[in-house]
Amino acid sequence: ILLSECLADGTAKGTLKGRAPAIPKCRDEAFAITPLWWVKESTGKAFVDYQNDATSKDLPLAAREGYNHIELAKRYTTTGMATDQGKLGNVNAIAILAEATGKSIPEIGTTTFRPFYTPVSFGAFAGAFTGHHFQPVRKTPLHEWAEEQGAVFVETGLWMRSSWFPKQGEDWLASASREVLATRNCVGLCDVSTLGKIDVQGKDAGAFLDRLYCNTFSTLAVGRARYGLMLREDGIVMDDGTTSRFADDHFVMTTTTANAAKIMTHMEFCHQAHWPELDVTYTSVTEHWAQMAIAGPRSRDTLNKIIDGAKLSDENTPYMAAREVSILGGLPARLFRLSFSGEHAYELAVPADHGNMVARALMQAGAEYAITPYGVEALSIMRIEKGHVAGGELNGTTTAADLGLGKMMSSKKDYIGRMTASREGLVDPKRQCVVGIRPVDKADKLRSGSHLLTRGSTPSMANDQGYITSVAWSPMLNEWLGLALLSNGRARHGEIIQVFDGLRNIHMLAEICDPMHFDRENRRLHV
């Protein structure tokens, strides 16, 4: 602005308060202002960022090397990455980069400011020490019953699950071992409500599931259940669970607890993006139902005390049956003859509001058979004894073949992951696959995460053959058992290998065996 313009503006403002003053006479001087971002003629160093010692020559070099975006130049030169976050030198830096790239300063833009210039949230200071108020806590419909039974709870995602039910003086292992023995010898009751439950309906429901799972569900008979395996688009296993058919156009899926929301999102995407023409609807009903497992040789006797009408038998409720029943004088329920424990077992689903009442009724009905509540620790022991895979094996790197489930993959239909599952790297016989493992010395304790090496080899990445995924003390076999992922494992049953626990610097010998450690003929399923 010129001096004469300044005087005229001041005079105009002065007239608002009184008599207009005379405008002084002046002479406007010619001027030309050019911003000077750096002195190019200087032979010495010219620092742009004093804290990181970034110079004016570093920025043109960054542009020549291809780092011509301000965020890339920032990382290439460390300009603006100190505690001031560029507030002392970034104006010069942006201008120098603009000149070097032939752009204007607005086109270059600014960098993202971070702490300490930008405030730090209180949550960052609190870190993991947030307590139970950090996120909502989900309690199962049987939570009240579990508290009455003295359960110790464990966090599983947002869920609080009953982990074990200790008696006086018992630690977790003693309690879980007692629960396993009671279940395998008599009958046990376990809360499995946290499993994801998705209701699928519509005339194309079967076709929809066929495309999601690697095995077929459209041929599943009404009143039956089937174990299913879902693959990602890269051919790796995403999730597993059972799906039951209650009508020609009505299925009920179950997912793992951890993947319930993920699978629901996956289904929505596939329907909307891949197959919008399919007539199918699906709804998450996880919190609508209380579901409990009744397992053990006395499970049928216990259920028969609360079932209305005809008593349960192998004829009306065979293995893998799914049916709607009435219990306790008219309460509608769903009954599934499924078993994750390897025992003669059932899963009973009732409306969520009735969960605690039904669990108490089952405890009363099974009292003469010494019914015992069991938690996820006992359930984990029993599934390892039976060689059933869970989170440790479904780790996002394993294929159906790695898990010993390759025969489930249909060759008669298309499904997500079918083509990529046949890639050379995913069918290599030397891939790590699931095996069972037992210590040679029964006094040795297996530990999850321990590495597997050929006998006598030195622990190293080059010699690493796999690792242990799950371990448990088996009260039925009175020894430590485990599941592991081992290179070419199925061809190595009976081999003695070296186990190395690098965290504790422990070496031991172990035998590779079939993943199913207990009741390999599955006789107990049909007791």
Q: Which CATH architecture has domain 196-286?
A: 2-Layer Sandwich (3.30)
Residue with tokens 């977790």: 172
Q: Name the amino acid, one letter, at 517.
A: H
Structural contact between residues 338 and 225, judged by C-beta atoms closer than 8 angstroms: yes
Q: How far apart are CA 69 and CA 89, in angstroms?
A: 17
Backbone phi, psi, residue 72, to 5° = -70, -40
Q: How far apart are CA 500 and CA 456, in angstroms?
A: 11
Per-residue model confidence as pLDDT tens digits over 287-317: 999 999 999 999 999 999 999 999 999 999 9
pLDDT value at position 8?
Answer: 78
What pTM, to 2 d.p., does this model score?
A: 0.75
Residue spans per domain, the chain? 1-33, 47-108, 143-194+289-382, 196-286, 429-527
Structural contact between residues 226 and 214, judged by C-beta atoms closer than 8 angstroms: no
pLDDT value at position 18?
Answer: 61
CB proximity list for 123: less than 8 A, separation 6 or greater: 130
Domain 47-108: homologous superfamily in CATH: BFD-like [2Fe-2S]-binding domain (1.10.10.1100)
Structural contact between residues 484 and 499, judged by C-beta atoms closer than 8 angstroms: no
Query: 143-194+289-382 belongs to which CATH class?
Result: alpha beta
In 3D space, the residue among 515, 174, 241, 141 whose CA is nearest the CA of residue 378 turns out to be 174
Describe the crossing of helices 90-101 and 70-77 by its angle, rounded to 10 degrees: 110
3-state secondary structure at position 10 = helix
Per-residue model confidence as pLDDT tens digits over 70-100: 999 999 999 999 888 888 888 999 999 999 9
Is CATH 2.40.30.110 the classification given to domain 429-527?
A: yes
In 3D space, the residue among 335, 211, 334 whose CA is nearest the CA of residue 276 turns out to be 211
Q: Which regions of the chain are under pLDDT 70?
A: 1-2, 15-24, 26, 28-31, 117, 128-134
Handedness of CA 464, 465, 468, 474 (dihedral sign): negative
Per-residue model confidence as pLDDT tens digits over 196-244: 999 999 999 999 999 999 999 999 999 999 999 999 999 999 999 999 9
Backbone phi, psi, residue 492, to 5° = -120, 15
